[in-house]
Amino acid sequence: MKTGRSLSSLAQELLRQLGTKQDMIVPSPLMACKTSSAGDCALTIAASDAFAHYGITQLARRQLADKLKIPFAYFERMRLDQPDLLDSNINTWLQADGERRLIRTLDGQVRAVLSERYRRLDNYDLAENVLPILQRLPEMRFESVELTETKMYIKVVTPRTRFEMAPGDVVQAGLVIMNSEVGHGTLSVQPLIYRLVCSNGLIAADHGLRKTHVGRIQQTEEEAVTVFRDDTLAADDKAFFLKVRDVVEAAVSEASFLQIAHKMQKTQGIALTGDPVKTVEVLANRYTLNETERIGVLRHLVREGDLSGYGLVNAITHYSQEIDDYDRATEFEALGGKLIELAASDWKGLAQAT
């Protein structure tokens, strides 16, 4: 499993961000973009006869382009080659746009441009409510936690719940909690299988809890900028976090764990009878792996010498540890979970590739 930061480092960064982030509901005509000759975009927001200026992250630029229906490739070309043309495009469409947007800022930069219906389930509140629940799990250990530009990850393992795939090949129960504050995915609680022999993590597909960030339209004055304060952001999520508690307990239950472990074990009986190189090529095409990733998975498959579905699953999750980007590494752990759910006909296309 990809190693992240320490739990104390995560807590410190969440607390730091709590003091610098800000959310606003802004009518589009009260925003304007100014791009420098070097391609640095700044968003100006007019509020109460004053102006606030913010940089814009790449994700926020993509979201702004999407909201204004400007193809992002063209957006970026204008930003780098014709900044005045970009500003003209953005500002014209902002003035014509009747929508209000949720603008999320952090460290003086716009980090997300979202719908006013976006329901904020923030990382600090989630961690504050979930960590005490996790710490009550038997013999629980935090295996990997991380905070990236787009998501927070909390991955835990409970060693007491275990299963032997084969003599000496033990897996343990765990779970992963993922959340995005910037519109980059749902809040989810998913079971996780942790393989001791190689520290691989596999995230089970289509299990657990998923909560979309969609809520009621925020009631604000149409022509005003509304800044949300801490007490406003702490909306009544008590019922939701009670549900998270129940899902956490279910995700690491023995029944749930054994169901997933048995599916994983069945892949030991799937022989990769075709060309391993072709098998990984089919996998790469099906799940959009780049060339470096394809070579990395093939290397682990050949090195570990297990030409079975189980070997392929473990080659994928083992390779995830080499990926620098934590978000992408986690996607590989989830890909392993997708494979153990494949139908026999889908496995046939992989196993018999020539």
Could you say which residues of the chain have pLDDT below 70? 48-49, 206-238
228 domain-assigned:
no
Instruction: For residues 163 and 277, state if they share a domain.
Output: no
In a domain, 146, yes or no: yes
- 226 in a domain, yes or no? no
* Structural domain for 162, as ranges: 123-214+236-261
- Supply the pLDDT for residue 119: 82
Contact yes or no for 191/198 (Cβ under 8 A): no
Indicate if 80 and 148 belong to the same structural domain.
Answer: no
Quick one: which of 326, 331, 296, 292 has its CA closest to 312?
Answer: 296
Task: Output b/e per residue, 48-67; b: 16+ Cβ within 10 A.
Answer: eeeebebebbebbbebbbeb
Q: Is residue 175 part of a domain?
A: yes
Residues 142 and 76 reside in one and the same domain? no
- 7 is a domain residue: no
pLDDT, residue 210, reads: 61
The pLDDT value given to residue 251 = 79
The reply to whether 161 and 81 lie within a common domain is no
Predicted local confidence at residue 241, as pLDDT: 74
Q: Answer for the pair 281, 294: CB distance below 8 angstroms, yes or no.
A: yes
Check residue 242 and give its pLDDT: 75
Give me the pLDDT at residue 209, please.
62
- Residues 203, 331, single domain; the answer is no
In angstroms, how far is CA 222 from the centroid of its own chain?
A: 33
Measured distance CA(311)–CA(301) in Å, rounded: 6
Q: Is residue 165 part of a domain?
A: yes
**Phi-psi map region of 208: left, alpha, beta (phi>0 left; psi -120 to 50 alpha):** left
Is residue 9 situated within a structural domain? no
* Residues 206 and 289 reside in one and the same domain: no
Q: What is the pLDDT of residue 221?
A: 46
| 142 and 242 inside one domain | yes
Rounded to whole angstroms, the Cα distance separating 337 from 148 reads 22
| 135 and 178 housed in the same domain | yes
Tokens of 105: 């800022």
Q: Which of residues 115, 149, 175 is at a domain's end?
A: 115
Around Cβ 279, how many Cβ atoms within 10 Å?
24
How many domains does the chain fold into?
3
Residues 134, 242 within the same domain = yes
- State whether 289 and 166 are in the same domain: no
Q: Are residues 255 and 133 in the same domain?
A: yes
> Is 97 part of a structural domain of the chain?
yes
Q: Is residue 202 domain-shared with residue 294, that is, in the same domain?
A: no
